């Protein structure tokens, strides 16, 4: 999508709507039909205590039903792999490898369930964890607003905004602790 | 007849009144003596009221994992709401917001990382770089939340230490057992209160657990519950099941046998009177001596021992000569009966000197019961049924002939005893039971389930426990810290042990907290160090203001105590409470080892400390030692009692020669029984020893009544028949007991039935030959 396309997307009149609307269900079905996808990402973390945002780039891989991998390649090397309730975390550059239960990591879980729930097309899972706002626009563009239901999670992550076109996720913005992390995704064939 | 019924009714009424009025104690606390070494004293205390006694382990299975998780969550919620439990572990273990805030406030006093060198500019710079690196990583949400107020990572380190210990997999807010096999959700609950084997509160807690489970609408799922409290109930149920079956069966057999031999219902009533009176007297005497309710174990054993008294009315009725009044017969056999009862009671009374509260009660109960039963047989029975005309049926002819042929076969008796001695010598005698698990009446399946749940939950190893203290709270926590420092090099997947749960892990001692507080830099120094550390890093000025404020606040915090912890952080306090107990103003700690691979290295490390406040207790070795000690003491006192009883016999029979003649079959029967137990592979326990005492009491009767010189009225034949009837009665009851599944009951049954058979045969062989048959 061109830069102009992005701008247009941002200018669309987003009507806040309940997630039950047909567009949401249809989108979920389209995601559910995709067994796997790969993408590259660039990410920028803006943290109020820092002078400048922290950029990073890497790869995303999705494999239905529940396997999601986020591999950061620069500036640090980091692999985050979620499968079922397990979270594998590795920092190959530091020789660190840990396994967690997703349950014990509410901050991480908030993010994982948002992306994974969408990629899996699991509307019920999304509604279990978030208050879901959805808006569709022309040419299959859509935007989703996820507010964590759990107070405990909301202490760390206040809102996750997803945007995309068709069964493609293009943006993930995570707001928490006064900062925003913006992830831009480029799908790969 | 009417008087007999009245007497029975009176006994029953009195018994009910005593039983209801005084009752029985069932806690192990006053049955066991306080240990004599510090280690055994600690062990006995742990057995009675230790943390381990309050644990309930549960598994839920028989449904899909998601459903199991739901049941587990709802059960746990029900358990928390019941207020009966100090701690529930179910996979939702987490600190509340308030607890997190509290821990955050105390982080510098609680964190082992608080040292002066941690706050220099160089150390801080390293930390700030690590923070920046962390902010780039996936951990950034967590670090943006805590990192700027806590750049040294004290709080996150603590949270990891406190919460990151479980190795059980969590799914949907429930613990799921790892490994193959059907899915199983796991729960752990610690019963509230001071602990101890208080059966009533254990039962109430178990009932509350089951109620919470049922309220979670389990559907087809099954609840598997284990733990010491459940064990107690299982054991009671196993014993009760055995005993009910055996009592019914043996009552039927005994009644049938007595009817066959005597054709008299009256006799059944007569047999019950001395037994009932003896039980009441024993109960009352024990209650007086114990200053309260007698112990259930002493009562149970005492009742078994009073089984001897069934012989008294049988002997009285059988030895009555045709046409003789019962009162005259009683007067005639009284010297022998008196001697038998007195000798048996003396043997039991020896237990009074043992100093073990349980054995003293047993001695008092059985001794006073025996004497009462003998007196009742002498003076009360004849008055109850003055005109009773009960006579035994003649012995069946082949039995009579066989027994007559056995009489006076001294060489045969001698040979039997020699064979027994040879067997004992060859086998090295029966083993002494050293494994306390073999004594346990808990069914093997329940023990296996417990072991499995413990393994799946990663519950601590209870083989090695380290006792810390006693002393003040500060002293015990300081000792715990010394222990922790000494063991730290041994920890880890490659080390001598996996982990050690210490009181000081949850709460450092006040001295340590003060030292940490003193290690925190003053406001100016902290600011200067931070300013230097932040040079060239992309942090905004003021980013670490919360850190500087926290340092200043921490420098004014008073050290945290158990009271403060209990008030502000109940989750952590619940983890500490089983490791640190306060009783009568004295604090005692325990350290629990997990996954011990090299017990010797652990023992050596503790020994190297040379700290009088730290004691390693090898639970298995100590219980074995305790069992051996108790066994040896009982044996010694039984031998002493035997000696005194022998003296009494010499006095009563007019010379040591006669006494030895009477005692010979008893000694022989003991040897034959021991040899038989050795051949059967039974390992000896306290219960076997107590059964041997009972056996000696029975054998005295047989020997005394058979050893009397035969007189022209062919009394000898009658006496032989009477004694045979007595022996048969005992065999019928105890023989059945040896078929029990409960190890303790089976041991008693085997010992007594072997012993009674050999005592009877030996007494028969050693009895004077009849002048002319």
Q: How many angstroms separate the CA atoms of B118 and B520, rounded?
A: 9
Residue A4's pLDDT band (cuts 50, 70, 90): very low
* CB-based contact A145:A159 (threshold 8 Å): yes
Please state, rounded to an integer, the average pLDDT across all residues of chain B. 82
Q: How many CB pairs under 8 A join A and B?
A: 78
Residue B37's pLDDT band (cuts 50, 70, 90): low
CA proximity to B366, closest of B273, B288, B292, B286: B286
Any CB–CB contact under 8 A between A176 and chain B? yes
| Angle subtended at Cα B91 by Cα B85 and Cα B96, rounded to the nearest 5 degrees | 70
* CB-based contact A164:A116 (threshold 8 Å): no
Min Cα–Cα distance to chain A from B554, Å: 23
Assess whether the previous peptide bond of A65 is cis (omega < 30° from 0): yes
N residues, chain B: 773
Q: Which residues 6+ apart lie within 8 Å of B157 measured at CB?
A: B111, B113
Calculate the alpha carbon distances from A175 to A41, A106, B80, B132 in Å.
18, 15, 35, 19
At residue A185, does pLDDT exceed 50? yes
Nearest to B148 among A45, A49, A156 (CB): A49
Average pLDDT for B745-758: 88
Calculate the alpha carbon distances from B92 to B96, B591, B629, B665 in Å.
11, 25, 46, 68
pLDDT the model gives residue B397: 85
Q: What is the pLDDT of residues B370-420, one digit of tens each?
A: 999 999 999 998 888 877 778 888 888 888 888 888 888 888 889 999 999
Nearest to B144 among A52, A101, A177 (CB): A177
- Choose, out of B94, B144, B146, B170, the residue to mutate when testing the contact with A (most A CBs < 10 Å): B144
CATH number of A23-188: 2.50.20.10
At residue A64, does pLDDT exceed 70? yes
| Angle subtended at Cα B319 by Cα B664 and Cα B651, rounded to the nearest 5 degrees | 40
What is the β-pairing status of strands A96-101 and A78-83?
A: unpaired
Q: Do A107 and B141 touch (CB under 8 A)?
A: yes
Q: How many angstroms separate the CA atoms of B18 and B22, rounded?
A: 6
Q: How many angstroms separate the CA atoms of A89 and A101, rounded?
A: 11
Q: Do A91 and B137 touch (CB under 8 A)?
A: yes
pLDDT the model gives residue B296: 72
Q: Do A47 and B144 touch (CB under 8 A)?
A: yes
Sorted by where each begins, the domain ranges of chain B are: 1-30+264-391, 398-428+619-773
**Phi, psi (degrees; rounded to nearest 5) at B669:** -65, -40
CA proximity to B468, closest of B603, B611, B590: B590
- Helix ranges, B263-295 (H): 265-290
At residue B111, does pLDDT exceed 50? yes
**What residue in A sits closest to B137 (Cα-Cα)?**
A78
Min Cα–Cα distance to chain A from B139, Å: 8
pLDDT the model gives residue A142: 92
Count the neighbouring beta carbons within 10 Å of the beta carbon of residue A128.
11
Q: Scan for tokens 């000081």, then name that residue.
A: B504
- Per the model's pLDDT, the better-predicted residue between B42 and B508 turns out to be B508
pLDDT the model gives residue B550: 92
At residue A106, does pLDDT exceed 80? no
The tokens describing B526, both together, are 């902290």
Helix (H) or strand (E) holding B724: helix B715-737
Report for A5-19, B485-499, B682-696: range of highest mean pLDDT: B485-499
pLDDT the model gives residue B355: 65
Calculate the alpha carbon distances from B448 to B183, B227, B292, B743 in Å.
18, 12, 38, 17
Residue B462's pLDDT band (cuts 50, 70, 90): low
Q: Scan for tokens 């107020």, then name that residue.
A: B149
Average pLDDT for B233-250: 74
N residues, chain A: 189
Q: Do B144 and A104 touch (CB under 8 A)?
A: no
Residue B46's pLDDT band (cuts 50, 70, 90): low
Helix (H) or strand (E) holding A99: strand A96-101
Residue A71's pLDDT band (cuts 50, 70, 90): very high
Q: How many angstroms separate the CA atoms of A68 and A85, rounded?
A: 11
Rg of chain A (C-alpha set): 16
CA proximity to B641, closest of B285, B363, B295: B363
CA proximity to B59, closest of B220, B221, B237: B221
Q: What is the pLDDT of residues B53-72, one digit of tens each?
A: 777 888 998 888 888 888 98
The tokens describing B296, both together, are 């259930």
pLDDT the model gives residue A2: 41
At residue A12, does pLDDT exceed 50? no
The tokens describing A31, both together, are 């995601």
Helix (H) or strand (E) holding A150: none
Domain B398-428+619-773 falls in which CATH fold?
A: Multidrug efflux transporter AcrB transmembrane fold (1.20.1640)
**What residue in B sits closest to A106 (Cα-Cα)?**
B142
CA proximity to A30, closest of A162, A141, A119, A136: A119
* CB-based contact B657:B665 (threshold 8 Å): no
Q: How many angstroms separate the CA atoms of B455 and B304, rounded?
A: 39
Min Cα–Cα distance to chain B from A144, Å: 21
Q: Do B138 and A108 touch (CB under 8 A)?
A: yes
Residue B43's pLDDT band (cuts 50, 70, 90): low
Q: Do B136 and A104 touch (CB under 8 A)?
A: no
Q: Which residues 6+ apart lie within 8 Å of B558 measured at CB?
A: none
Are both B1-30+264-391 and B398-428+619-773 of the same fold?
A: yes
Question: Which residues in B lie closer than 8 A to residue A101 (C-beta atoms)?
Answer: 169-171
Q: Which residues 6+ apart lie within 8 Å of B317 measured at CB?
A: B262, B267, B270, B326, B388, B390, B391, B392
Q: How many angstroms separate the CA atoms of B357 and B360, rounded?
A: 5
At residue A105, does pLDDT exceed 90? no
Min Cα–Cα distance to chain A from B595, Å: 21
Residue B546's pLDDT band (cuts 50, 70, 90): very high
pLDDT the model gives residue B435: 67
Task: Indicate if ipTM > 0.85.
Answer: no
Question: Which residues in A lie closer than 8 A to residue B173 (C-beta atoms)?
Answer: 103
Helix (H) or strand (E) holding B596: strand B586-596
Q: In angstroms, how far is CA B413 from the centroid of its own chain?
A: 41
Nearest to B543 among A49, A104, A181 (CB): A49
Q: What is the pLDDT of residues B249-290, one digit of tens each?
A: 877 888 888 888 888 888 888 888 998 899 899 989 988 988
pLDDT the model gives residue A14: 43
Please state, rounded to an integer, the average pLDDT across all residues of chain A. 83
What is the β-pairing status of strands B464-471 and B614-618?
A: antiparallel
Any CB–CB contact under 8 A between A51 and chain B? yes
pLDDT the model gives residue B251: 78
Q: Which residues 6+ apart lie within 8 Å of B766 measured at CB?
A: B410, B413, B661, B664, B665, B703, B706, B707
Q: Scan for tokens 């009074």, then name that residue.
A: B352
Q: What is the pLDDT of residues B559-610, one digit of tens each?
A: 999 889 888 887 788 778 778 888 778 888 888 887 788 888 988 999 898 8
Share of chain B above pLDDT 90, in %: 17
Q: Do B173 and A56 touch (CB under 8 A)?
A: no
Q: Do A80 and B543 touch (CB under 8 A)?
A: no
Calculate the alpha carbon distances from B90 to A100, B176, B224 in Å.
17, 9, 15
Q: Which residues 6+ apart lie within 8 Å of A168 measured at CB?
A: A37, A185, A187
pLDDT the model gives residue B579: 84
- Choose, out of A148, A152, A177, the residue to mutate when testing the contact with B (most B CBs < 10 Å): A177
* CB-based contact B364:B299 (threshold 8 Å): no
What is the CATH superfamily name and number for domain B1-30+264-391? Multidrug efflux transporter AcrB transmembrane domain (1.20.1640.10)
Share of chain B above pLDDT 70, in %: 88
* CB-based contact B608:B496 (threshold 8 Å): no
- Per the model's pLDDT, the better-predicted residue between B337 and B176 turns out to be B337
Q: What is the pLDDT of residues B182-238, one digit of tens each?
A: 888 888 888 876 555 566 777 888 888 999 999 988 888 889 888 777 777 777 777
Min Cα–Cα distance to chain B from A98, Å: 12
At residue A16, does pLDDT exceed 50? no
At residue B630, does pLDDT exceed 80? no
For the entire predicted model, the pTM comes to 0.67
Residue B439's pLDDT band (cuts 50, 70, 90): low
- Per the model's pLDDT, the better-predicted residue between B358 and A132 turns out to be A132
At residue B771, does pLDDT exceed 60? no
Question: Which residues in A lie closer than 8 A to residue B142 (C-beta atoms)?
Answer: 107, 156
- Choose, out of B90, B98, B139, B141, the residue to mutate when testing the contact with A (most A CBs < 10 Å): B141
- Per the model's pLDDT, the better-predicted residue between B129 and B707 turns out to be B129
Residue B361's pLDDT band (cuts 50, 70, 90): confident
DSSP assignment of B597-657: S-HHHHHHHHHHHT-TTEEEEEHHHHHHHHHHHHHHHHHHHHHHHHHHHHHHHHHHHTSHH
pLDDT the model gives residue A57: 94
Q: What is the pLDDT of residues B296-320, one digit of tens each?
A: 777 777 777 787 788 899 888 888 8
Residue B576, SS3 per DSSP = helix
Question: Which residues in B lie closer than 8 A to residue A173 (C-beta atoms)?
Answer: none
Any CB–CB contact under 8 A between A14 and chain B? no
**Phi, psi (degrees; rounded to nearest 5) at A61:** -140, 135
Any CB–CB contact under 8 A between A150 and chain B? no
Question: Which residues in A lie closer than 8 A to residue B136 (C-beta atoms)?
Answer: 45, 54, 56, 75-76
A18 bridge partner residues: A133
At residue B144, does pLDDT exceed 80? yes
Nearest to A177 among B91, B145, B169 (CB): B145
* CB-based contact A169:A162 (threshold 8 Å): yes
């Amino acid at each position: 999508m061109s830069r102009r396309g992005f701008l247009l997307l941002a200018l669309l009149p987003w009507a806040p709507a309940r997630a039950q609307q047909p567009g949401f269900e249809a989108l979920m079905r389209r995601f559910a039909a995709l067994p796997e996808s790969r993408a590259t990402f660039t990410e920028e973390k803006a943290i109020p205590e820092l002078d400048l945002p922290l950029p990073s780039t890497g790869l995303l891989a999705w494999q239905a039903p529940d396997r999601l991998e986020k591999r950061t390649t620069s500036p640090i090397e980091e692999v985050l792999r979620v499968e079922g309730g397990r979270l594998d975390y590795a920092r190959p550059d530091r020789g660190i490898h840990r396994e967690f239960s997703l349950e014990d990591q509410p901050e991480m879980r908030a993010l994982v369930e948002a992306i994974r729930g969408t990629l899996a097309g699991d509307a019920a899972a999304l509604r279990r964890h978030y208050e879901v706002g959805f808006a569709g626009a022309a040419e299959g563009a859509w935007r989703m607003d996820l507010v964590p239901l759990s107070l405990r999670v909301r202490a760390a992550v206040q809102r996750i905004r997803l945007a995309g076109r068709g069964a493609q996720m293009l943006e993930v913005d995570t707001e928490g602790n006064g900062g925003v992390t913006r992830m831009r995704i480029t799908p790969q064939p | 007849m009417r008087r007999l019924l009245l007497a029975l009714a009176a006994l029953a009424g009195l018994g009910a009144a005593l039983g209801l009025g005084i009752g029985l104690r069932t806690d192990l606390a006053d049955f066991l003596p306080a240990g004599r070494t510090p280690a055994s004293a600690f062990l006995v205390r742990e057995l009675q009221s230790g943390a381990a006694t309050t644990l309930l382990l549960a598994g839920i299975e028989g449904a899909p994992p998601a459903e199991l998780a739901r049941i587990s969550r709802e059960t746990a919620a029900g358990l928390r709401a019941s207020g009966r439990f100090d701690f529930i572990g179910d996979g939702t273990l987490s600190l509340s917001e308030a607890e997190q805030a509290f821990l955050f406030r105390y982080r510098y006093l609680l964190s082992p990382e608080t040292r002066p060198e941690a706050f220099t500019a160089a150390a801080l710079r390293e930390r700030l770089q690590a923070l920046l690196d962390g902010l780039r990583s996936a951990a950034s949400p967590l670090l943006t939340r805590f990192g700027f107020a806590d750049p040294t990572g004290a709080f996150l380190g603590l949270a990891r230490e406190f919460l990151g210990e479980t190795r059980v997999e969590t799914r949907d807010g429930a613990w799921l057992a790892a490994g193959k096999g059907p899915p199983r959700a796991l729960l752990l609950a610690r019963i509230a209160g001071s602990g101890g084997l208080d059966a009533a509160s254990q039962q109430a807690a178990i009932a509350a657990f089951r109620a919470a489970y049922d309220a979670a609408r389990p559907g087809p799922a099954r609840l598997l519950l284990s733990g010491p409290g459940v064990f107690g109930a299982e054991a009671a149920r196993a014993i009760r099941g055995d005993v009910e079956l055996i009592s019914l069966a043996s009552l039927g057999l005994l009644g049938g046998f007595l009817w066959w031999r005597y054709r008299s219902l009256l006799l059944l009533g007569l047999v019950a009177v001395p037994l009932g009176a003896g039980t009441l007297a024993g109960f009352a005497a024990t209650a007086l001596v114990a200053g309260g309710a007698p112990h259930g174990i002493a009562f149970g054993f005492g009742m078994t021992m009073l089984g001897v008294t069934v012989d008294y009315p049988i002997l009285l009725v059988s030895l009555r000569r045709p046409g003789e009044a019962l009162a005259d017969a009683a007067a005639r056999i009284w010297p022998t009966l008196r001697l038998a009862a007195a000798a048996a009671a003396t043997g039991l009374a020896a237990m009074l000197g043992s100093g073990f509260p349980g054995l003293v009660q047993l001695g008092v109960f059985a001794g006073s019961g025996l004497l009462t039963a003998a007196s009742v047989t002498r003076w009360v029975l004849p008055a109850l049924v003055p005109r009773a005309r009960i006579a035994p049926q003649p012995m069946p002819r082949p039995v009579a002939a066989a027994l007559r042929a056995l009489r006076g076969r001294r060489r045969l008796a001698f040979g039997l005893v020699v064979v027994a001695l040879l067997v004992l010598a060859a086998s090295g005698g029966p083993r002494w039971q050293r494994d306390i698990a073999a004594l346990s009446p808990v069914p093997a399946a329940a023990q296996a389930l417990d072991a499995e749940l413990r393994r799946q939950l990663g519950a601590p190893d209870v083989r090695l426990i380290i006792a810390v203290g006693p002393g003040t709270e500060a002293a015990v926590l300081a000792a715990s810290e010394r222990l922790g420092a000494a063991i730290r090099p041994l920890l880890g997947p490659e080390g001598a042990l996996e982990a050690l749960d210490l009181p000081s892990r949850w709460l450092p001692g006040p001295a340590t907290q003060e030292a940490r507080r003193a290690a925190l830099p003053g406001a100016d120094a902290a600011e200067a160090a931070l300013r230097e550390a932040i040079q060239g890093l992309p942090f905004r000025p003021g980013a670490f203001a919360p850190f500087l404020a926290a340092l200043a606040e921490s420098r004014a915090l008073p050290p945290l105590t158990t009271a403060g912890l209990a008030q502000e952080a109940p989750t952590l306090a619940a983890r500490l409470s089983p490791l640190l107990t306060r009783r009568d103003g004295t604090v005692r700690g325990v350290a629990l080892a997990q996954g011990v691979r090299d017990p010797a290295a652990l023992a050596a490390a503790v020994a190297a400390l040379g700290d009088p406040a730290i004691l390693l207790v090898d639970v298995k070795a100590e219980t074995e030692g305790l069992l051996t000690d108790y066994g040896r003491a009982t044996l010694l006192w039984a031998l002493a009692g035997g000696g005194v009883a022998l003296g009494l016999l010499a006095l009563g029979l007019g010379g040591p020669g006669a006494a030895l003649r009477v005692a010979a079959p008893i000694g022989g029967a003991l040897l034959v029984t021991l040899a038989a137990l050795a051949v059967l592979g039974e390992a000896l326990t306290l219960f076997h020893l107590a059964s041997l005492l009972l056996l000696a009491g029975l054998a005295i009767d047989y020997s005394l009544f058979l050893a009397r010189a035969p007189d022209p009225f062919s009394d000898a034949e009658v006496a032989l028949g009477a004694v045979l009837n007595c022996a048969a009665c005992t065999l019928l009851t105890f023989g059945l007991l040896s078929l029990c599944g409960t190890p303790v009951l089976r041991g008693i049954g085997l010992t007594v039935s072997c012993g009674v058979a050999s005592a009877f045969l030996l007494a028969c062989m050693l009895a004077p030959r009849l002048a002319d048959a």
